A and B are shown apart, each in its own frame.
Chain A
Amino acid sequence: MSGEESVIEAEGAVPTTADEGAAAGGESVGDSPLRREDARALRGETTYTDDFGQEAAALAFVRSPHAHAEVAGIDTEAAEAIDGVVAVYTWGDLAESDAPMRLPVRTGPLDCEVPGHPVLAADRVRYDGQPVAAVVAKDRYVAADGVEAVEVEYDPLPVETDPEAAASEDAPTLFEDAPDNVAAVGELGDREATDRAFAAAEEVVSVELENNRLIPSALEPRAALAEHDRTEGFTVTMTSQSPHGHRRKLSHTLGVPERQIRVISPDVGGGFGHKGHHHPGEAMAAWAARELGESVKWTATRSANYREGAHGRDHRTTAELALDADGRFRGLRVDTHAGIGGYALGGGGAMPGWYGRLLASQYEIPAIYCRSRCVFTTTAPVHSYRGAGRPEAIYVTERLVDVAAEELGADPVELRRRNFLDPDGFPHETAVGATYDSGNYEPTLESAVDAVSGLPRGGERDDDGRLRGVGIASYVESTGGGFESGVVRVHPDGGVTVSAGTHDHGQGHGTIYAQIVADEHPVAPEEIEVVEGDTDKIPTGTGTFGSRSTVVGGNAVAESAQEVFGKAREIAAHELDADPGAVETTDSGFRVADGAGEGSDAGDQRVSFAEVADRAYGRGLPEGLSPGLEATTFYELDNTAYTFGTHAVAVAVDPETGEYEVERYVAVDDCGVRVNPRIVEGQVHGGVAQGLGQARSERATYGADGALAASTMLDYALPRASDLPDIETRAQETPSPDNELGVKGIGEGGTVAAPPALVNAVVDAVPGVDHLDMPVTAERVRTAIED
């Protein structure tokens, strides 16, 4: 193993402490206390959105069975006649109101002016499952009766669900202003320089691949409970990863100021991105609540959640890599068609335009050019899904490197090593404009490779006649963009409440933020309350997505903690009649450091933190200090933090059936300083599970008629626990120099690394095959072997 300063820590070496284990006043960052969230969840004590508003009226949508059609007429009479149906609404009702009722589109990056997704279809539907009418009834059973009774006449139009075909000349046009269905063309890098690199190259390899369309499958489907009060305005309790984000979006859709909307997000059962996006349900519930003057609740069924999206990925890519005679990468050229669905949802329509920012992965590639066409298709909207652009980019590069190794007869490990960025060359700006903050790639590669060394590979047959293969993927992940709010509030009794604009939906923020605030301060993590998920309680924030919470939320609360405890120290020094520099932190307060005070008993001069807090709100503060003991930080990084690592996979393939087992999975990740190694490990496990789901089985298949064939969990091949291998984790810590905590995000790394690692392993096992598209099903493996 190279890299003297790197210590690769294997699973099991993770220090584990009990809840009370972290010494107050001592260091708590780096400990692994049990997650404070888990006991409640395991006991079923969590309260999700659907647990609220049991008496509220139920909202349900009539959804289009057609992927593309004119809405010729809607007859609501029979539905309205049903006993218990409160109201039936169509676009006509919404259009008569003063609310825009179209989900906002970030049109800036688009090359066309397209209307936002109407909450109810205006005159045309553009995907299977699009809401066409809304029924409000006394309960959800009657609402379903009402939905069934609404008669909609459709004039079907041609469909196209494939992004490449949708951009061709004979495809049906979805929006007049984008006649070729291309909403935006994103270009990254230097086209001419890249062309020159290819012209001068010794070797050029290429691959065509699909990054399969995925459906977020959080255990809890989306839901919203809306109330309206003429004085208070709207209160929307909903499944949100981003309460302030949803407040802002609802403000646009409803046409009311943000101050008149309160978004509460209680316990949330997973999100993976799609609970950060704005969907018709919460807007329709809010609109109806105001219209009717009563509480209205919408809870998606699984199928509604699946058909409505937002889905993830859906790229078709041609990529080429130029190499010189020494196997050094000289250029990378990528051309992608990405499906964005039937509507541009928020910024999702333009998202593929910048996915190429991570194409350099861990390598020195002097010239890169990436062109992405963001294409409307007659499918549910596509937006960010765990990884959000990073898995797509790294998959391209890591597959291409293996294809290059195969064609050049090179060792894929050696080829990677030869092209790694120099650990002394950070910060490093890539040819596609990403600036990596820090990195040390080779030790993570060596650790992963070491774990699978000696295993049969390259199609070698084992005693059972199975073909064996090994694959690796090295990755870089951009984490922690945007600003975040973090508040540390000390109450007069010394109690501490921490809040942030992020919102936990499984990550363990309560545990993490308490560790950060307690670190080196006179309060224990378990004594710190952490509050998120209410726009009336928390200063404006951004939310939880993009592996950002510890990076920006963590640093926000850390900065507030520094300010608060710094002030507390000043007050303590005043109380102790000592110089602030001579005061040190204890478990529960402050004392005069040994030898710093007068006399030999200086260390016995103490003041508790509770006394300091009391003093902060009382009389006798030192001159120049104002009352109060709280701080609010709006933290923003100029640059994101770049997590990295290498994952290694060993597989055994049955050549007769194409079925294969993952014999070994090793994840070596470096997310800088780990606040809580156990939580990091959990994130890696979850990410790898999702990555293997994409690689092995998941695909949001649309039928030839444009209907979502994978519209239920019976039809969408989500991996089960028994489908997953044992996942070994190893960690390295290369701190980010750009933030005070030195942290980087780890929420998505597994989704980035697992797909190429798995595909590389299976391709290695199957002789004569240079690529297999995801999901790598047994059938695809078998037919590849047979061919």
Chain B
Amino acid sequence: MFPPQFDYERPDSLDAALDALADEDAVPLAGGHDLVPMLKARERTPGTVVDLGGLAALRGVERVVADGTERLSIGALTTDAALLDADPAGVDALLDATSEVGDAQIRNRGTVGGNLAAAHPASDIPAATLAAGATLHLVGPDGDRTVPAGEFATGDHETVCTDDELVTRVSVPLDPDAGGAYARKTHPSTGYAAVGVAARLRVVDGAVADPRVAAVGLLDVPTRLPAVEGALVGVDAGSPVDAVAGAAERATEGIDGAVREDHVVSAGQRCAVLPEYTERAVSAALARAVGREGVVA
């Protein structure tokens, strides 16, 4: 529980941070909820910890319009609590998921970008960004690039972000008509999601359209639930209960990868509860979309 000695730097600009991270023995520190326990357990033994806390430019939430699309741009160092305080419209599932992260103390320090960059397989926020079709913005010595949420994580704590790159912001497309929600089964020991499901959908002409449903805790990376999405298209928003339940029953169909398990919650149990939490997320998302559409259920 006591890390070996390491150097500590707190750069005050993005360029300085990238310079510091060019040292292959350096790691970035944001909220620290993933990194610090690993340091204490000596699972990671960096030469330098680069504290990003001085990069004020990476904090804040704003609406931007790009290519005619309205998006919410969230600075990577925006704390979970700050995002919740900002309470932006159009990102229901993201706010739901963020409110499930840890507890108030953790949300006061944990950051949205750090949460995504850590790529914990059971972290809540990545389910919402995947369901929302968000984009992550990365910067490194060779310049900027963007990565779709679904292509960011490549494994348990593994991402396409290289050691000398940083996530600077995440941008979430806004759709005033869409409804979203996140529901999870809390893991009895870790407190993370045993499974967490984010849903985002629209109601067009009284029927479900463009559903996107994503789960965390299930595989090593966040995953869409293709069979659920397929079954939801065209569901009558006026009397959806049975159809949503039926769609949710198909949650594990077409999932690609080994379902996670540990000695507290088995893979079988995760699969068994997935439909229930899928149904909860989809139902709540649909209710919100219906409310916005003005459709009377």
Contact = CB atoms under 8 A, between A and B. Distances in A.
Max chain A C-beta neighbours (<10 A), residue from B189, B263, B266: B189
B188 A717 contact: yes
B198 to A, nearest CB: 19
Contact of B4 (A144, A697, A715, A718): A144
Contacts, number: 68
A697 B263 contact: no
Contacts of A714: 189-191
B189 A140 contact: no
Given A658-B272, A715-B264, A141 B188 contact: no
B162 interface: no
Interface string A236-247: 000000000000
A141 B272 contact: no
A715 B262 CA distance: 9
A716 B189 contact: yes
Nearest to A719: B188
A710 B262 CA distance: 10
Given A140-B2, A143-B2, A303-B1, A717 B273 contact: no
B3 A141 contact: yes
Given A140-B2, A141-B2, A782 B263 contact: no
Given A715-B262, A779-B265, A656 B276 contact: yes
Contacts of B268: 779
B189 A715 contact: yes
B276 A715 contact: no
A657 B191 contact: no
B269 interface: yes
A755 B138 CA distance: 52
Interface in B252-276: 262-266, 268-269, 272-273, 275-276
Interface string B1-36: 111110000000000000000000000000000000
Nearest to A701: B263
User: Would you call the interface of chain B mostly helix, strand, loop, or mixed?
Assistant: loop
User: Would you call the interface of chain A mostly helix, strand, loop, or mixed?
Assistant: loop
Contacts of B273: 657, 659, 778
A654 interface: yes
Contacts of A782: 269, 272
A47 interface: no
Interface in A682-730: 697, 701, 703, 709-710, 713-718, 720, 723
A473 B1 CA distance: 42
Nearest to A780: B269
Contacts of A717: 188-189, 264
B42 interface: yes
B189 A713 contact: yes
B42 A148 contact: yes
Nearest to B264: A717
Nearest to A714: B190
A656 B264 contact: no
Nearest to A775: B188
B213 to A, nearest CB: 18
A301 interface: yes
A145 interface: yes
A301 B2 CA distance: 10
B189 A657 contact: no
Contact of B1 (A301, A656, A703, A720): A301
Contacts of A716: 189
Contact of A144 (B1, B188, B269): B1
B12 to A, nearest CB: 28
A710 B264 CA distance: 9
A141 B269 contact: no
Nearest to A148: B42
Given A148-B42, A657-B276, A718-B189, A779 B266 contact: yes
Given A140-B2, A697-B188, A779-B269, A709 B276 contact: no
7 contacts: A144-B4, A148-B4, A656-B275, A701-B263, A720-B191, A777-B188, A779-B265
Given A301-B1, A715-B262, A715-B263, 15 more contacts: A140-B2, A141-B3, A143-B2, A144-B42, A145-B5, A148-B42, A658-B272, A697-B188, A697-B189, A703-B263, A710-B263, A715-B264, A718-B189, A723-B188, A782-B272
Nearest first, the 3 A-B pairs at minimum CB distance are: A144-B2, A717-B189, A717-B188
